[in-house]
Amino acid sequence: MMSETIVLLDMTTPERADRLRALLPPGFVLTHGTARGDEHMKEIIAEADYAISGQVGVSREVLAAGRKLKLLHKWGVGYDNIDVAAAKELGIRVARTTGSNAVPVAEFALGLMLSSLRFIAYGHEELRQGRWATGRLPGDTYMLSGKTVGIVGFGAIGKNVAKLLKGFGCKILYSKRTPLSAAEEAELGVSHASLAQILAEADVVSLHCPLTPETTNLIDSAALKAMKKTAVLVNAARGGVVNEADLVTALRAREIAGAAMDVYSVEPLPPDSELLTLDNIVVTPHLAAMAADNFAPTVKRMFANMVHVSRGEPVPERDIVV
């Protein structure tokens, strides 16, 4: 029996590739990207039966090069950088691991809140540079305990953020197109609110919505001006939800106290990005979903979906994109 090939389109280390191979089902082999860009992806997808996209975008041209491709699997949840319409036209199924990274991302978002409110990352970098920052921080520090936190987007990640915040005694507002039932709101200790209310009242605005035409540039100059001057913005969702030029202007003018960003409109973040010139922002390189103890369960789920396709079985409904 011939092996079927899975290609990880992202660049990865040999060590990480070996960890993936250790979890492969029988009858499958794994290859992976060794360079960035569509031309390289077109080469490595050409002979693949299945492909995995972590953080790389997948264009129509890349998909069209996958002449044997049966399934493109998103490693995670957000598929806004995959040309899903093209996949559908080409007869390539697309799946994702819905909810698989909810707890790691929620924990990371909490870490970003604390780092931004307390200048943790700033103090760390100052000390590494031989400077003792006590008494000369770029702004005031604030506790998270007892604050009002607004969660924009309330799927699995947003709900886990709310659960973590309960221990801090926060007032939690959430925005969602369809509000939860009164019973579920009571269980989570949250209240439904409009985006306008969240911007006006929250000490921390934490973004957990998908990137769609409706949410692109959701947080722009007007939204930032509507926030409290003492508030911080946290984005562990998608870069395009925030207008980065407007955020730079707001942070420079101290229209808000600070921000923490794990995602950007262009990734990797260009080294000349103005976000890197600010002293009241925490920036991390799209790390929120990465947790070693979440690696195997997520990978096994992706591989199980590929086995379903190989056997002519349906992919579980929760993981189907197209």
Q: Residue 2: what pLDDT?
A: 75
Q: Residue 77: what pLDDT?
A: 87
Active site residues: 238, 267, 286
Residue with tokens 């379903």: 308
Q: What is the pLDDT of residues 271-302, one digit of tens each?
A: 999 999 999 999 999 999 999 999 999 999 99
Of 221, 232, 235, 234, nearest to 263 by C-alpha is 235
Q: Span 152-162, mean pLDDT?
A: 97
Give the confidence band of 1 by pLDDT, cuts at 50, 70, 90.
low
Q: What is the pLDDT of residues 202-243, one digit of tens each?
A: 999 999 999 999 999 999 999 999 999 999 999 999 999 999
Q: What is the pLDDT of residues 185-209, one digit of tens each?
A: 999 999 999 999 999 999 999 999 9
pTM for the full model? 0.90
Q: Residue 100: what pLDDT?
A: 92
How far apart CA 98 and CA 284 sit, in angstroms, is 23
pLDDT, averaged across the chain: 96
Q: Answer yes or no: are the C-beta atoms of 281 and 259 closer than 8 Å.
A: yes
Of 139, 116, 75, nearest to 301 by C-alpha is 75
- 32 has which bridge partners? 8
How far apart CA 280 and CA 199 sit, in angstroms, is 19
Q: Residue 78: what pLDDT?
A: 87
